[in-house]
């Protein structure tokens, strides 16, 4: 039997040459893929059947045909390119491109035999993990790029790259699957109808013909796949993006640089955003061009922005007090030198007031005692205000010409106070998050308990109702059985009485005829036996007409067909009704044809053929 989830698929154990189909692996708008057993080499293979559901359908004899004559040319055009594509892909022997082993035609369509790969689908992996780390993503992306570049160099594009079409083997290596959409050579101008994957297909796949699509089309899909791996969701669909971009508004897609900032390298995020450019001319035009933008390649620049420190990490990193390495100038009007300003301009001489010693910090600090400085830092730290702590830190980081030990101690106290405040803030946020999670878990547990209680109540109610219905049904069946037994006994008595009366009537008729024949001058009565009228019992009537029909009586054959169709005196059967209508028609009963045609509408072609054979074996018409 065919899998109910795939009504167009061939049934399990169906044989194609020496391939034995086991189950359906998946179905798209372009075809159906099966897991099969190569009985010749005793190994598993994947077989893709060309069956574009928009133009073709499977018939009862397992063949595939175009839905109409108008769609026949389109179906044959796609079939030719399916075969040509399989032969082209068979030339590719790359570890990260699915291996095509053979292609053959059968059932009015074609089948592409591919190597079956064990492992896990990349989409399933992302559904399970939601996001993956950069190193794991690059282990998937870079090998796929190598294989896809080989395909592009041969003049083909994939057109349907997405996580569902990337398979991760048991050893962690990826393989690119399902080149079912790669059926138009680069530069070919004929429009190709394809089913695009929302979020992974660029805008040109929704509207353009083949000349507007190329390697940049696959690069967009690869960028969207990477976006899914770092964001947990696919990017916005190109149609939705077009409403903003084509409407002279900004692109409403949140860039990868914003989604993955701090978790992935800036180089990778920029490369993903470049691949997801809305206009095809703004994207990398070749795999080689985009590969040079990606991190993790030998010899390529990998300078990236340092990872953003999270509050938890900041709380655990020991802070070292910043000690000024500069000495105060011996001459008040001599400026400091720095690497960024090796030749500073001379400044004007300070005023007498400015030349006086400043307490604890020199002239660059606001006047105030050391205690005020420490208290300010401690207050800012204890209050936990980010703005206040940041202001104090900037103040503490400001270069100063005062090198005395007291200033160094103040800076150390500031750093320690800030670290303590950050630690307390992180602990407070963690406690609040733990409390929120606990409350959420308690609410979920309460809701689950209520749901289970409700389901238990509903189950008990349903069980009680089912028990009551079963008891009522048993009582009804018992009553019906007793009634049927009584009716059967009455019918049998009536049958016996009827047969007795019929025999007595026959004897009386025979005696009457004998007496009539004794009358002088009266011609003898025709003593040819006549068929007895049908008995009143439905089963006996059916047997009566069936006996006449098997002797070649066309009218009786018509009656038998009607009894089979109505289910009177015999179990209803459209097959037998069709067969006896056919016998009646063959015997010259004109009313039988219309009845036979009406029953034929309720039968399958194979059932009609069987009924025709039954009709031929039943009776020969009287001549």
User: Using 50, 70 and 90 to split pLDDT, how confident is the model at 388?
Assistant: very low
User: pLDDT tens digits for 229-286?
Assistant: 999 999 999 888 887 766 655 678 899 999 999 999 999 999 999 999 998 999 999 9
User: pLDDT tens digits for 460-503?
Assistant: 999 999 999 999 999 989 998 898 998 888 888 888 888 888 88
Of 374, 347, 379, the closest CA to residue 363 belongs to 347
Of 27-31, 265-269, 385-389, 421-425, highest mean pLDDT? 265-269
pLDDT (average), residues 371-388: 38
User: Using 50, 70 and 90 to split pLDDT, how confident is the model at 351?
Assistant: very low
Query: What is the pLDDT, as a whole number, of residue 136?
Result: 95
- Three-state DSSP at 536 gives coil
Alpha-carbon torsion angle 508, 510, 515, 519, nearest 10: 140
User: Using 50, 70 and 90 to split pLDDT, how confident is the model at 338?
Assistant: very low
Q: How far apart are CA 580 and CA 559, in angstroms?
A: 9
CA distances from 199 to 47, 330, 579 (A): 28, 67, 58
Query: Could you tell me the two tokens for 103?
Result: 């292609």
Q: How far apart are CA 174 and CA 120, in angstroms?
A: 10
Query: What is the pLDDT, as a whole number, of residue 377?
Result: 39
Question: Whose structure tokens read 């959409």?
Answer: 181
Query: What is the pLDDT, as a whole number, of residue 233?
Result: 94
Query: What is the pLDDT, as a whole number, of residue 393?
Result: 40
User: Using 50, 70 and 90 to split pLDDT, how confident is the model at 154?
Assistant: confident
Q: How far apart are CA 138 and CA 160, in angstroms?
A: 20
Higher pLDDT, 353 or 618: 618
pTM of the model: 0.47
Higher pLDDT, 153 or 363: 153
User: How deeply is 309 buried, as exposed, middle or buried, from its count of CB atoms within 10 A (0-12, 13-18, 19+)?
Assistant: exposed
Q: What percent of the chain has pLDDT over 70?
A: 72
Query: What is the pLDDT, as a whole number, of residue 48?
Result: 94
Alpha helix segments (H runs only) across 518-567: 538-550, 554-566
CA torsion sign for 242, 243, 248, 250 is negative
User: pLDDT tens digits for 90-126?
Assistant: 888 899 999 999 999 999 999 999 999 888 999 999 9
Q: How far apart are CA 226 and CA 163, in angstroms?
A: 9
Mean of per-residue pLDDT scores for the chain:
77
CA angle 365, 370, 371 (to 5 degrees): 135
Higher pLDDT, 433 or 293: 293
To the nearest 10 degrees (0 to 180), the angle between helices 574-586 and 605-616 is 50
Query: What is the pLDDT, as a whole number, of residue 38?
Result: 96
User: pLDDT tens digits for 538-589?
Assistant: 888 888 998 898 888 888 999 999 999 999 889 999 999 999 999 898 888 8
User: Using 50, 70 and 90 to split pLDDT, how confident is the model at 364?
Assistant: very low
User: pLDDT tens digits for 397-456?
Assistant: 444 444 456 555 655 665 566 676 678 778 878 887 888 887 778 888 888 888 888 889
Query: What is the pLDDT, as a whole number, of residue 49?
Result: 95
Q: Which residues pair with 97 in a beta bridge?
A: 176
Query: What is the pLDDT, as a whole number, of residue 342?
Result: 37
Higher pLDDT, 430 or 18: 18
Residue 35 clears pLDDT 70, i.e. is over it: yes
User: Using 50, 70 and 90 to split pLDDT, how confident is the model at 518?
Assistant: confident
Higher pLDDT, 82 or 532: 82
Sequence-distant (6+) residues with CB within 8 A of 312 are: 426, 430
Return the percent helix, strand and coil in the chain, to nearest 5: 50, 10, 40
Query: What is the pLDDT, as a whole number, of residue 195?
Result: 59
């Amino acid at each position: 039997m065919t899998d109910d989830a795939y009504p167009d698929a061939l049934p399990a154990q169906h044989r194609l040459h020496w391939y034995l189909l086991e189950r359906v692996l998946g179905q798209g708008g372009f075809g159906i893929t099966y897991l099969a057993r190569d009985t010749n080499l005793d190994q598993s293979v994947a077989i893709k059947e060309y069956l574009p559901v928009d133009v073709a359908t499977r018939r009862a004899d397992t063949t595939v045909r175009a839905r109409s004559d108008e769609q026949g040319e389109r179906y044959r055009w796609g079939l030719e390119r399916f075969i040509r594509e399989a032969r082209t892909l068979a030339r590719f022997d790359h570890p990260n491109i699915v291996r095509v082993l053979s292609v053959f035609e059968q059932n009015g369509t074609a089948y592409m035999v591919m190597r079956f790969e064990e492992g896990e689908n990349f989409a399933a992996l992302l559904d399970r993990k939601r996001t993956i780390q950069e190193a794991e993503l690059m282990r998937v992306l870079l090998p796929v790029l190598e294989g896809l570049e080989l395909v592009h160099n041969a003049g083909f594009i994939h057109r349907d790259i997405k996580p569902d079409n990337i398979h991760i083997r048991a050893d962690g290596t990826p393989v690119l699957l399902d080149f079912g959409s790669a059926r138009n050579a680069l530069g070919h101008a004929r429009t190709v109808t394809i089913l695009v994957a929302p979020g992974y297909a660029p805008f040109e796949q929704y509207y353009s013909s083949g000349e507007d699509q190329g390697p940049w089309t696959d690069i967009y899909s690869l960028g969207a796949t990477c976006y899914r791996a770092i964001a947990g969701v696919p990017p916005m669909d190109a149609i939705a993006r077009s409403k903003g971009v084509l409407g002279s508004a900004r692109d409403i897609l949140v860039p990868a640089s914003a989604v993955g900032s701090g978790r992935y390298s800036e180089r990778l995020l920029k490369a993903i955003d470049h691949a997801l450019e809305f206009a095809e001319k703004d994207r990398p035009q070749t795999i080689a061009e985009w590969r040079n933008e990606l991190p993790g390649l030998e010899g390529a620049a990998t300078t990236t922005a340092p990872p953003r420190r999270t509050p938890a990490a900041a709380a655990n990193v020991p802070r070292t007090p910043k000690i000024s390495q500069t000495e105060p100038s011996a001459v008040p009007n001599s400026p400091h030198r720095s690497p960024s300003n090796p030749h500073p301009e001379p400044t004007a001489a300070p005023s007498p007031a400015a030349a006086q010693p400043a307490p604890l910090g020199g002239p660059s600090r606001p006047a105030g005692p050391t205690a005020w400085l420490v208290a300010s830092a401690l207050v800012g730290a204890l209050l936990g205000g980010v703005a206040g702590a940041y202001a104090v830190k900037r103040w503490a980081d400001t270069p100063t010409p005062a090198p005395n030990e007291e200033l160094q101690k103040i800076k150390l106290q500031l750093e320690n106070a800030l670290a303590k405040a950050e630690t307390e803030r992180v602990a407070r946020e963690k406690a609040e998050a733990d409390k929120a999670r606990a409350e959420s878990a308690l609410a979920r547990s309460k809701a689950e308990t209520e749901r289970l209680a409700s389901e238990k109540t509903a189950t008990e109610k349903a069980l009680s109702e089912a028990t009551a219905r079963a008891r009522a049904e048993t009582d009804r069946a018992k009553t019906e059985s007793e009634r049927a037994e009584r009716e059967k006994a009455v019918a049998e008595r009536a049958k016996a009485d009827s047969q007795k009366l019929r025999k007595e009537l026959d004897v009386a008729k025979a005696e009457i005829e004998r007496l009539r024949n004794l009358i002088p001058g009266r011609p003898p009565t025709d003593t040819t036996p006549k068929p007895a009228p049908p008995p009143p019992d439905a089963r006996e009537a059916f047997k009566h007409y069936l006996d006449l029909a098997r002797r070649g009586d066309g009218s009786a054959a018509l009656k038998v067909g009607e009894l089979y169709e109505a289910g009177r005196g015999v179990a209803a059967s459209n097959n037998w009704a069709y067969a006896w209508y056919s016998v009646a028609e063959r015997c010259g009963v004109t009313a039988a044809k219309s009845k036979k045609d009406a029953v034929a509408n309720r039968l399958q072609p194979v059932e009609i053929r069987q009924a025709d054979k039954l009709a031929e074996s039943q009776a020969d018409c009287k001549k």
